[in-house]
Chain A
Amino acid sequence: MTTLTRALSAEVLKTKRTLTLWLVILAPLAIAFLEFVMDMQMGLRALRSNSDAWLSLTQNSLILWALLMLPLFVTLETGLLNAQEHGNKMWKQLYATPLPRWAVYAAKQLIGLALVGLSTLNLMVMSLGVGFLLNLLKPEFGFVPPIDWAAIVPAYTLVYLAAWLIISLHLWVSARWPSFVVAMGVGIAATVAGVMVINSDWAKVYPWTLPGLASIGYMEGDAIAAQAALGFLGGIVVALAGGWDVTRRDVL
């Protein structure tokens, strides 16, 4: 455990003050900004998915986030975490430090999970901020208290937990193949596919649609336990398998 803490502290040091960390703010900010512009432009038409304005806002933000931004963001973030080592040929040095190899991978996994968690939290805060801002500018939209926290907080929690599978998958892909192009290519292809898959039966098992299905499904009162469990537990399983595969490989 000490070794994991050490590897983690090294990872945190390497991540501090990088663009990787700023993206945690910028990605949700982009969504919140879009949401704001869309509501200002389209007015109530954009907010009719639910009778409660706060819930409509949450739902709109979650759809955009879960289906498009999140998979691409995860691809970019995990890609960057590993490109740091691939690009500078640092794996060898990392593996020569008196730390077990698994600790290095586990630290990256934890950082990956934390970055995505942080960005999801930011999205929730910023999205609610958009609601407050709209309340000042356009009181007729109905952004009045109370905020239904019991519906909003679990939805954001679910989008995060169901994303564990794609986080683990992309961390493995980017650690396993040194080329950044492979990492980005897989992410882009999988995300574009997700937009098609979401309307089919496969959405229930396709990793890149799980976060959207779990969170939006929850808000619409569907049964989503299976999707959430697949995303969350699948994430743990793939993290273990991925870590096993990456650490047993020789590095050049």
Chain B
Amino acid sequence: MTAFFRALSAELLKTKRTLTVWLTLLAPLSMMLLVLALYFQQGEQRAQQDDLWHMLIQTSLVLWSLLMLPLFVTLETGLLSALEHHNKTWKQLYALPVPRWAVYASKQVIALGLIGLSMIFLAAMTVGVGLLFRVIKPAWSFGAPIPWATLVQSVTLGYLASWLIVSLHLWVSARWPSFVVAMGVGIVTTVASVIVINSDWAKVYPWTLPGWVARGSLQGETFAVSLALGVVGGVAIALVGGWDVIRRDVL
């Protein structure tokens, strides 16, 4: 365990003050600014709706989980691994008196931490957008109490369901040195998920799981299997991916 914490603290040092960390803020921000602008532009239509909090949470969470999150996960895990690939530091890392698994495990934990952080920002910004409308558009139904329980529950579940793609993309980016492979896989699977979300496969396709679970939790549909697949699959792939990456020779 000590070895793991040492590896983790080294990872944290390497991540601090990088664009990788800033992205956890910028990714939800860029999306929420647009949501804000669009709600503003559709003013007349919005003024007549009576459950705007729920609608806002759904808009931002579904858009996030379906499109932004998979691409964001690809980029973040790609960057965590590219740090070592580009500077050819795997060799040095593995020469340290830290077991190899600790290096991979700490990257996995950092990746999960970064994604979790971004979703906390997303939830906070969603509330922020709603509160802003409460002030500038008092006539809209944002005057209703903030549905904290719904928000926290759906964001948490969406996050847990994303563990599988976090593990998958971390493995891909660590296994293949080329950043293009990492990005290519992420782009193709994300584009595919836009089709898959409307099919029966959405329940089991890793890249639609966060969106499926978040939507299910908001609309009161069943999502237990998808959630379990996301979490358990995430842990399983992390173990398999770690096993695969650390047993490989590095150049």
Seen from chain A, the residues whose Cβ lies within 8 Å of a Cβ on chain B are 19-20, 23, 26-27, 30-31, 34, 38, 41-42, 64, 68-69, 72-73, 76, 80, 87, 179-182, 184-185, 188-189, 191-193, 195-197, 200-202
Contacts and interface: CB of A to CB of B under 8 A. Distances in A.
Given A68-B191, A69-B187, A188-B72, A196 B23 contact: no
Contacts of B121: none
Nearest to B72: A188
A188 B23 CA distance: 11
Contacts of A26: 184, 188
B35 A38 contact: no
Interface residues of B, number: 34
A76 B180 contact: yes
Nearest to B19: A181
Query: 7 nearest interchain CB pairs?
Result: A189-B30, A30-B188, A188-B71, A72-B187, A19-B180, A181-B19, A68-B191
Interface string B69-103: 00110010001000000100000000000000000
B187 A196 contact: no
A31 B34 contact: no
Contacts of A76: 180, 183-184, 187
A181 B23 contact: yes
A31 B191 contact: yes
Contacts of B179: 180
Interface in B31-75: 31, 34-35, 38, 41-42, 63, 67-68, 71-72, 75
B181 interface: yes
Interface stretch (B2-10, B151-159, B192-200): B192-200
12 contacts: A23-B184, A31-B191, A185-B27, A185-B75, A188-B71, A189-B26, A189-B30, A191-B67, A193-B30, A196-B63, A200-B38, A201-B41
Contacts of B195: 34, 38, 64
Nearest to A180: B179
Contacts of A195: 63, 67
A164 B21 CA distance: 32
Interface of B: 19-20, 23, 26-27, 30-31, 34-35, 38, 41-42, 63, 67-68, 71-72, 75, 79, 86, 178-181, 183-184, 187-188, 190-192, 194-195, 199
Contact of A200 (B19, B30, B41): B41
Contacts of B38: 196-197, 200
Contacts of A31: 191
Contacts of B71: 72, 188, 191-192
B68 A192 contact: yes
Nearest to B66: A195
A64 B197 CA distance: 14
A6 to B, nearest CB: 27
A181 B191 contact: no
B184 A185 contact: no
B109 to A, nearest CB: 21
A63 B7 CA distance: 45
A27 B34 CA distance: 27
Contacts of A23: 180, 184
A185 B187 contact: no
Given A64-B195, A185-B27, A193-B31, 11 more contacts: A19-B178, A20-B180, A23-B180, A27-B187, A30-B191, A76-B183, A184-B75, A188-B71, A189-B30, A196-B38, A200-B41
Contacts of B63: 192, 195-196
Contact of B34 (A30, A80, A182, A193): A193
Nearest to A42: B199
A64 B194 CA distance: 9
Contact of A68 (B26, B86, B184, B194): B194
A188 B188 contact: no
Contacts of A41: 199
Nearest to A38: B195
Nearest to A23: B184
Contacts of B86: 87
Contacts of B20: 181
Contacts of A196: 34-35, 38, 63
Contacts of B67: 191-192, 195
B247 to A, nearest CB: 25
A182 B199 contact: no
